[in-house]
Chain A
Amino acid sequence: MARVETDVSGVEKRRPLSPHLQIYRPMLTMVMSIAHRITGAALYFGTLLLAWFLIAAAIGGSTFELAANCFNSIPGRVILFGFTWALIHHFLGGIRHIIWDTGHGFEPKEREWLTQATLYGGIALTAAVWVIAYLIQ
């Protein structure tokens, strides 16, 4: 919190600031931490899609047809693909954080492995879910 404080004579107190993001060289663990938060925020608003679909299914008729057609359209599929990736990425990132919360996986090689597993695992699993989706459709 960047509050400007003044001392008794009204002179601005300049307090030392800790170095922030722009100081550091980007590292994968840092980028993935940011990605975890961004995918979380995206999923937050993505729940609107789930609510829309469930309400449309509960109402039925043309409301359901409209929702189904939107999700089936090319832009709808692109959005759902992004939703799937965000969900799986955040899911794997969450498992990584659970492992870290237990105090494991902090050695340089382990944390790099975990971070890469989240990144590439997220892409691979998203592709796998969509292959399954197209096979059973």
Chain B
Amino acid sequence: MAKGSASVGTARNRVRFLGSARSGTADAWAIRVTSVMLVPLSIAFVSVVLSLLGKDHAAVRAELGHPIPAILMLFFILATVFHMKLGMQSIIDDYVHDMHLKEWSLIANLVFSISIGLACVYAMLKLSFA
């Protein structure tokens, strides 16, 4: 009886877009995997930024266009974009209760994260190859 009514409730809530979306475990795992990656990558990022201090444009180009800092920066950017998208998504899921506002917020989060990722990757590739 209890089992039966629970499954009816879940089916109704699923129609109303309430209840589990069943992607939570993958997201929770991905935010942890990217956080582990970001431990060494953040150290690399801070080191690269420190090495740019006081340099003129030609020297900055040369440094960021060198394969090792460039690949580290690209790796850092990609891990960051995935991590920040998932982090902001959990903030939205926790605090935004209005369904439409929540959906628009999730779309805005995706657009912002992809834009940051594309802008940074494009700039890094241009610094390396242009």
Docked pose: A124 CA to B122 CA in angstroms: 34
DSSP majority for the B interface?
Answer: helix
- Asked if A91 and B120 sit within 8 Å, CB to CB, the answer is no
A-B contact number at CB 8 A? 80
In the assembled complex, the CB of A134 is this many whole angstroms from the nearest CB of chain B, namely 9
Chain A residues with CB under 8 A of B124: 54, 58
In the assembled complex, the CB of B30 is this many whole angstroms from the nearest CB of chain A, namely 13
Could you name 17 residue pairs across A and B whose Cβ atoms are closer than 8 Å?
A1-B97, A40-B84, A44-B88, A47-B80, A50-B77, A54-B64, A54-B127, A57-B60, A57-B61, A58-B123, A60-B61, A64-B57, A84-B46, A94-B35, A97-B35, A98-B36, A137-B53
Chain B residues with CB under 8 A of A58: 122-124, 126-127, 130
**CB-defined interface of B41-65 with A at 8 Å, one 1/0 digit per residue?**
0100010001001100100110010
- Asked if B126 and A87 sit within 8 Å, CB to CB, the answer is no
- Asked if A87 and B123 sit within 8 Å, CB to CB, the answer is no
DSSP majority for the A interface?
Answer: helix
Chain A residues with CB under 8 A of B50: 129, 132-133, 136
- Asked if A37 and B91 sit within 8 Å, CB to CB, the answer is yes
- Asked if A91 and B130 sit within 8 Å, CB to CB, the answer is no
Partner of B53, one of A37, A84, A136: A136
Docked pose: A96 CA to B45 CA in angstroms: 20
Docked pose: A58 CA to B59 CA in angstroms: 12
Q: Which residues of B contact A (CB under 8 A)?
A: 32, 35-36, 38-39, 42, 46, 50, 53-54, 57, 60-61, 64, 77, 80-81, 84, 87-88, 91, 97, 116, 119-120, 122-124, 126-127, 130
In the assembled complex, the CB of A132 is this many whole angstroms from the nearest CB of chain B, namely 6
Number of interface residues, chain A, beta carbon within 8 A: 33
For residues 78 through 112 of chain A, which have their beta carbon under 8 Å from a beta carbon of chain B?
Answer: 84, 87, 91, 94-95, 97-98, 101
In the assembled complex, the CB of B93 is this many whole angstroms from the nearest CB of chain A, namely 11
Closest 7 CB pairs of A and B: A54-B123, A58-B123, A58-B126, A51-B119, A137-B54, A55-B123, A94-B35
Is A30 engaged at the interface, CB distance under 8 Å to the other chain?
A: no
Is A70 engaged at the interface, CB distance under 8 Å to the other chain?
A: no
Docked pose: A44 CA to B119 CA in angstroms: 15
**CB-defined interface of A108-136 with B at 8 Å, one 1/0 digit per residue?**
00000000000000000000010011001
Is A4 engaged at the interface, CB distance under 8 Å to the other chain?
A: no
In the assembled complex, the CB of A7 is this many whole angstroms from the nearest CB of chain B, namely 15
From B126, which residue of chain A is reached at the shortest CB distance? Answer: A58
Is A28 engaged at the interface, CB distance under 8 Å to the other chain?
A: no
